[in-house]
Structure 1
Amino acid sequence: MQFSRWTCHGAISLYGFLLYFNLRSGLPSRMKGVLSLLWPGLILLIGFSRVYLGIHYPIDVMAGLAIGGAILILSIALSNGPGSGINGDKCSENVNPHGRFVILRPKRLSDRGG
């Protein structure tokens, strides 16, 4: 049996990103609560099942979670647009009326003062 490849990086990236969008969405708070337990639960369940079934060593799962976490942080930062952080802080002119996600749009010549 061959081991030593990290795993679960895709699970944490996907379900972590779904958790992020869930928390920033306009869903009712009860639905947010349920989904906020579901996404991390799936990440942990997948990681545990890999070790339990003997497919990977625990260190493989931990490495996959670390890599997936890095991918998740990068994905969230990129989804908010350039110059914004994880929480989406940015200039108010680039935020939609609901204040949830950054809208990237080029400035017109008239907006530049020229």
Structure 2
Amino acid sequence: MRNKQKLQLLCVTLGFIIFLGLATGVFLQSEWVSEVNHFGQQLIQNRSPIADTFFTHVTQLGSVTFTSLVTLLLSLFLLFQRQYRLFLFLVVNIIISAGFITQLVKHIIKNPRPVTQLIPEHGYSFPSGHTMVSILLYGTLIILIRLYIKNTWLKNIMQLLFLSLIVIIPISRIYINVHYPSDILAGLALGYSLLMLSRYIFNIGEHT
């Protein structure tokens, strides 16, 4: 096994460990989780009219409607290109990981959402579905960009754009107070690990 693969495996393992630690802490209602949540909320929820408008719009980029449309268009593109392995890679990431696994964990942990939300949300809080979708969908797009885009300048710009969404969308969920920081951290850790595991299973490399 090459050093790069060993590092990726280490990161995947670390991601699962972080997720399990957070899930255990939330399920047991540990004090350290409350402290992490309080610190994150104090850091991010500095409200202003401009920030309210920005984050309430940005958070829609991780919504079911928007991500379903992106997934559909991307699926059609991959099928048209006869890239069936990449199509299955996308389907597993979005439908199974971001969809089924996220909902399964939510109904196991059953953690209620914060109250006084800027945008009303229902259902359980842990982990953040928007965060899972963000890292799995936009992370998949980053991987596909590396495969399809040859122009270095364009490739870097697009990667930076999607990486920014992976960061900003989860932050928006804390800002509008529909998720705790622990939900976001768990979504990032689990989403990253599932994305990298899926990439390994489907053998998606730089030159697929």
- Do the two structures share a fold, i.e. TM-score over 0.5? yes
Q: Match for residue 64 of structure 1? A: 187
Alpha-carbon displacement from aligned partner over 1:16-58 (angstroms, at most 9, x marks no partner): 1111121232431111011110111011111000000000001
| Mapping for residues 25-64 of structure 1, pairs under 5 Å | 25-64=148-187
| Contact residue 15 and residue 43 of structure 1 kept, 8 A | yes
TM-score normalised by structure 2 residue count: 0.38
Q: Separation in 1 of the partners of 2:155 and 2:172? A: 26
Q: Separation in 2 of the partners of 1:70 and 1:23? A: 19
Q: Separation in 1 of the partners of 2:198 and 2:162? A: 17
CA RMSD of aligned residues (A): 1.7
Moved over 2 A (4+): 24-27
**Residue of structure 1 aligned with 2:143, choices 20, 23, 38:** 20
Q: Match for residue 6 of structure 1? A: 127
Q: Match for residue 67 of structure 2? A: none
Q: Separation in 1 of the partners of 2:160 and 2:184? A: 20
| Contact residue 6 and residue 64 of structure 1 kept, 8 A | yes
Structure with bigger gyration radius: 1
Percent identity of paired positions between Structure 1 and Structure 2: 36
- Structure with the higher helix share, 1 or 2: 2
Q: Match for residue 199 of structure 2? A: 76
| Contact residue 25 and residue 100 of structure 1 kept, 8 A | no
Structure 1: tracts of 5 or more residues without a match: 81-85, 89-98, 102-114
TM-score normalised by structure 1 residue count: 0.67
**How many positions carry a matched residue from both structures?**
84
Structure 2: tracts of 5 or more residues without a match: 1-111, 114-124
